[in-house]
């Protein structure tokens, strides 16, 4: 469900745009934050609050990779495996996540603490390998460093 604060946030977002449809992307982002993922309920809520038909809202949402369409863990790990990161060992890191946490690309840990998304170049080639955990950015990754980072996220 949407908190009152989120509803208010949505109304504010709406006012920043000339029409309701233009406000869909940030609105869906809020919904994702509130619901954890873009569930049918999340879409219906956004559709009701913005007055955009729900099928259209879902059409827009499914176009973008950064919206989640299945339940995800509490924290999202977005690890880059594109060229620079790959050369500097990103694939080893993928294996590490799998072995140590049981975290597969596109999957979620049993305790629903982490989900892993594989990214295509997040613009940190000079300090590769790199990843995002939620909105926080980390670079020059090693196995030990990842372990240390992930401890911060419950």
The phi and psi torsions of 114 (rounded to 5 degrees) equal: -130, 145
**Three-state SS letters, 5-26:** HHHHHHHHHHHCCCCHHHHHHH
Residue matched to tokens 């879409």: 43
Site size for ligand FES, by CB under 6 A?
Answer: 12
Which one of the spans 48-56, 108-116, 123-131, 145-153 is the region binding ligand FES (CB under 6 A)?
A: 123-131
User: Which of ligand FES, another protein, none lies near 135, with the C-beta cut-off 5 to 8 A by kind?
Assistant: none
Does 83 participate in binding another protein (rule CB under 8 A)?
A: no
User: Which of another protein, ligand FES, none lies near 122, with the C-beta cut-off 5 to 8 A by kind?
Assistant: ligand FES
DSSP bridge partners of 118: 79
What tokens appear for 104 in the block?
A: 């597969």
The residues binding ligand FES (CB under 6 A) are 80, 82-85, 121-125, 128, 130
């Amino acid at each position: 469900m949407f908190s009152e604060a989120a509803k208010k946030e949505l109304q504010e977002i709406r006012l920043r745009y000339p029409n309701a449809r233009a406000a869909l992307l940030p609105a869906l982002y809020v919904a994702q934050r509130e619901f954890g993922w873009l569930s049918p309920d999340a879409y219906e809520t956004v559709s009701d609050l913005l007055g955009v038909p729900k099928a259209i809202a879902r059409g827009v949402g499914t176009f973008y990779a950064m919206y989640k369409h299945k339940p995800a863990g509490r924290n999202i790990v977005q690890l880059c495996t594109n060229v620079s990161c790959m050369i500097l060992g990103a694939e080893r890191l993928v294996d590490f996540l799998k072995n140590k946490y049981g975290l597969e690309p596109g999957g979620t840990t049993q305790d629903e603490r982490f989900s892993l998304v594989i990214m295509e170049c997040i613009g940190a080639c000079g300090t590769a390998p790199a990843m995002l955990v939620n909105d926080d950015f980390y670079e020059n990754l090693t196995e030990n460093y990842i372990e240390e980072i992930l401890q911060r996220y419950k």
